[in-house]
Chain A
């Protein structure tokens, strides 16, 4: 097992920057998730760590050793690919044994290791089969087995669950979690799926346009998004954003009649700002049950969607469109008038130009 250090790591293709230089320290045994939309540089970063992509800037250290110019096989890393990347003409056993055979390990030892891992992953009945005769989940398990057999110091996962159907994805996600708990090997996991990121990660690195937007625990990135991008990317459905302007001690929301009290917590020098509140942090009341207070507003339900346990309400809060997430029983229907309470403690504010959280700016 080993720690991984990215020291000013960057990747450029000619004049095009794919990954802007960044620093990252991944602790021994940590489960780190690289999260972001497609084209954000997360796969490129993983492939640089794997050694499949050359590193333009900076130093990559694995276990304290600089590995920039070391072959993939000698880095002590093993990778699981999105499309499994099994050898189609070789049996499951040979797929898993390949790396060990290339290391010239004695046959008996190879068999012992492969059989052990196959047993752990429930692959023993399939060892003689070709990958084509396996289901998607089994194939991905073989790919994971192929990585485990090598007893690497670092596991690299490149969207390993993206090709599986929704039900299987949840099952494999839990298996991965359990596996990491049992083996405790440093893991770097690339995904665009925030649920995978939130559930698996010790820490999440959110990338956008080749730049790091935020590094933090799942709770940190959800509770204290550092940028407007992170705020909109983490959480489903996405955060409600509104453009506001401060006049005196009020925020006037642009293109609506909504006026909020400017809270002490979110003071900034620039009068223009973007406010954000998550759909799950809006409370919706029938007009007669609504509490009184400065943070309670008139609203109209434009559309109500039942999701099962929850319902989504498309609201117009004093002319400002907002999405609210409420309990799935006894929720107001389209056309009804309601009162909405915004939790001021759950309000986020961002600079409209830089997208940086006003909170994080205050900290700096």
Chain B
């Protein structure tokens, strides 16, 4: 296995790391440049002068960024909570209750998620307008939950499939009902699966653009991606503000990922071995 360093493999790994990290590194570097540095030709790689001015000015000039991030956070947490609750229960029902058409239902759920969300926008907008759900957290959380539920159901159902069913049968013999088995046995045992799925849903929701753009029209209700994308004025394109805001918007996701990293790895490799 390891007698020969495999240069092809390393080259490929290096290449993919460079390609995926370049935009992020460039973004971070840009956030420390001044306007002249950003437009300098030939391009400036290391910020010169290195400045924290953008970070200071974004909090003084556009304090609404914090509001955007808070909105994203509320919507992300709400979406994650709802999808995990509903997705967990339905995935458990589909994988364990021995329903006759469980397989058909699973495929149906997958089929529904094939619609491009943009195609749903007009009717969604109209309905949300009628129900007074525009510019509410509830509204966007519902929309996101609907969007990401199929994914959640599939992820969790495949996780439940890795749990030995005998444990649940033993619980039944001990006298537990289905809901109790789910809460006291299945939930603790599939915790890594829930964390991994929840994290992915949170990131999806955090990044989601079209629904957030259309359903949250008031400035105070905008989520981070939408708010940041609307920074450009009519004549100017404030790269320093955009890059700084984007860096700030990434941080919460990074922090959460770091906290739950152990569980994600456990969740994604579940069933690989005992």
Which A positions have Cβ atoms within 8 angstroms of B? Answer: 50-52, 71-73, 77-79, 81-83, 85-89, 98-99, 102-103, 146
Q: Which residues of A contact B262 (CB under 8 A)?
A: none
Can you identify 14 A-B contacts, CB atoms within 8 angstroms? A50-B173, A51-B172, A51-B173, A52-B172, A52-B173, A71-B175, A79-B169, A83-B166, A85-B164, A87-B167, A87-B170, A89-B188, A89-B189, A102-B174
Q: How far is the CB of A161 from chain B (nearest CB, A)?
A: 15
Q: Is B171 an interface residue (CB 8 A)?
A: yes
Other A-B pairs beyond A86-B167, A99-B174, 19, CB < 8 Å: A50-B173, A52-B172, A72-B175, A73-B172, A73-B173, A73-B175, A77-B173, A79-B169, A81-B166, A81-B169, A81-B170, A82-B166, A83-B164, A83-B166, A85-B164, A85-B166, A85-B167, A98-B174, A99-B175
Q: How far is the CB of A81 from chain B (nearest CB, A)?
A: 5
Pair count A-B, CB < 8 A = 51
Number of residues on chain B facing chain A (CB within 8 A): 14
Q: Is the CB of A102 within 8 A of B170?
A: no
Q: Is B161 an interface residue (CB 8 A)?
A: no
Distance A78 CA – B173 CA, assembled complex (angstroms)? 7
Q: Which residues of A contact B185 (CB under 8 A)?
A: 87
Distance A52 CA – B176 CA, assembled complex (angstroms)? 13
Q: Is the CB of A52 within 8 A of B167?
A: no
Q: Which residues of A contact B166 (CB under 8 A)?
A: 81-83, 85
Q: Is the CB of B174 within 8 A of A52?
A: no
Known contacts A73-B175, A102-B175; A52/B188 CB under 8 A: no
Closest chain A residue to B180 by CB distance? Answer: A102
Distance A356 CA – B174 CA, assembled complex (angstroms)? 42
Which of A71, A85, A89, A103 contacts B170 (CB under 8 A)?
A85
Q: Which residues of B contact A71 (CB under 8 A)?
A: 175
Known contacts A79-B170, A85-B167, A87-B171; A102/B176 CB under 8 A: yes
Q: Is the CB of B189 within 8 A of A72?
A: no
User: Considering the complex, which residues of chain B in the window 136-180 have a beta carbon less than 8 Å from any beta carbon of chain A?
Assistant: 164, 166-167, 169-176
Q: How far is the CB of A140 from chain B (nearest CB, A)?
A: 13
Q: Which residues of A contact B176 (CB under 8 A)?
A: 102
Q: How far is the CB of B110 from chain A (nearest CB, A)?
A: 25
Which of B169, B175, B189 contacts A52 (CB under 8 A)?
B169
Q: Which residues of B contact A82 (CB under 8 A)?
A: 166
User: Considering the complex, which residues of chain B in the window 180-213 have a beta carbon less than 8 Å from any beta carbon of chain A?
Assistant: 185, 188-189
